[in-house]
Amino acid sequence: MKEGGPEINRRTFFLGGAAVAGVSSLLAVSPELRKLFEAVSSAEKLRAEERIRVNEEYVKTAVTLARERLKTPDLRRALRGQGENPLGRILQVVGTPIEHVEGTSFDVAELHRRYPVQIAGPSNNFVFASAYDKFNRGGSYHTVGHSNGFYWGDAKHIMANAHTLLGIKEPPPGRSVDMGLLRLPPRLHARSEEQIIRDDGTLTNADIHGALVAVVGIDPGEPTSDKVGHKTFLGTAFRIEPGLVRVGEGVTQTWFDHFRNSFAVVLPPDEDDRSAWGMSGAVVFAHKDKWEFGGAYWSSWPTRFRRGGGRKIMTLGFFHGIDDLRAELRRPDLLRVDLS
């Protein structure tokens, strides 16, 4: 929730060692990508059609290069937490900035219009605000004490983080996926089929690793929300392997269990773990040939790295993939909260 996040977010840890990162190494090793990056950086000087074409080509090239690098023996070892500075080696590959997707095949405007639902207030008195109503009927969003969810399976259920549904600041012990279902009274049902996400069975976790993902949610305020109050986290996702996370140094078994059932994505440069709290529960899409439902966002983690003789912080966002959610939905003790 916006006014307070998981306790682990108040600390800074190292996943497999300090990350020695900065500008993505992909820009250094790929003249083609570097040229496209420079074109994107000055794209405001181009005509609209040319600007869209350059942005499209840049995103495709950056994601393709990152995906290919993640398959190399060195990066596979790094993903298992092996070798020197494994996280730093990963971040040099997936840290390429991706921002300008308006008008391209990666545009997220329609995702924002249809799916996010803001959940605000204490767990015994939730209030809701859907993007669909905001875009079609007007209204306003809450600015404090909020998180996200989305309609799942039918018009009467919302999928949200378990810690939100329970009114706590950490994922509940005894589980490894921070997710539950909220049953709504008729007055809060989805107004349109457009709002409802269903599992069509086509995407798997294997499709998400190395893919471009978009975390789309409602989180008004600085530093990165748009004028409507929405945020988008775009980047190349990578699967968190157990060897990349150490139990200890503040990482309890519960947190470890949740991390090993997660993917990570680098958050925008101006976003940090505290400013991203309101995005918990946001819907995640992975781009295959089009945007497809890929998972649910649940936490963030600030990671220190060295650059130019000083220390900087790169924030990672974590989400459970579609296969992780499927497994949780099959549990007989799936967390369910009934407001109907």
The domain ranges of the chain are 1-340
- Is residue 45 over pLDDT 50? yes
Query: What does the pLDDT average to over 282-311?
Result: 83
Out of 25-29, 100-104, 237-241, 319-323, least confident range: 25-29
Query: What does the pLDDT average to over 276-293?
Result: 95
- Is residue 163 over pLDDT 70? yes
Q: Half-sphere exposure (CA, 13 Å, Cβ side) for 291? A: 22
Vertex 204: Cα angle to 161 and 216 (nearest 5): 45
Q: Which residue has the higher pLDDT, 130 or 4?
A: 130
Mean pLDDT rounded to a whole number for the chain: 86
- Decide: 335 and 123 in contact? Cβ < 8 Å: no
User: Per residue in 112-126, is it b (16+ CB within 10 Å) or e — as a string?
Assistant: bbbbbbbbbeeeeeb
pLDDT, tens digit (0-9, with 9 covering 90-100), for 178-191: 999 999 999 999 99
CA distance 148 to 218: 7
Terminal alpha carbon distance of the chain: 23
Which residues fall within 8 angstroms of residue 143, CB to CB, at 6 or more apart? Answer: 2, 220, 221
- Is residue 28 over pLDDT 60? yes
- Is residue 311 over pLDDT 80? no
Q: Which residue has the higher pLDDT, 308 or 273?
A: 273
Which amino acid, one-letter code, is at 287? H
According to the model, what pLDDT value does residue 147 have?
95
Which residues fall within 8 angstroms of residue 96, CB to CB, at 6 or more apart? Answer: 24, 26, 27, 33, 62, 65, 66, 236
CA distance 83 to 90: 12
- Is residue 12 over pLDDT 80? no
Vertex 321: Cα angle to 339 and 277 (nearest 5): 60
Give the distance from CA 68 to its chain's centroid.
21
According to the model, what pLDDT value does residue 250 have?
64
- Is residue 20 over pLDDT 50? no
Q: What pairing do the DSSP bridges indicate for beta strands 238-239 and 263-266?
A: antiparallel
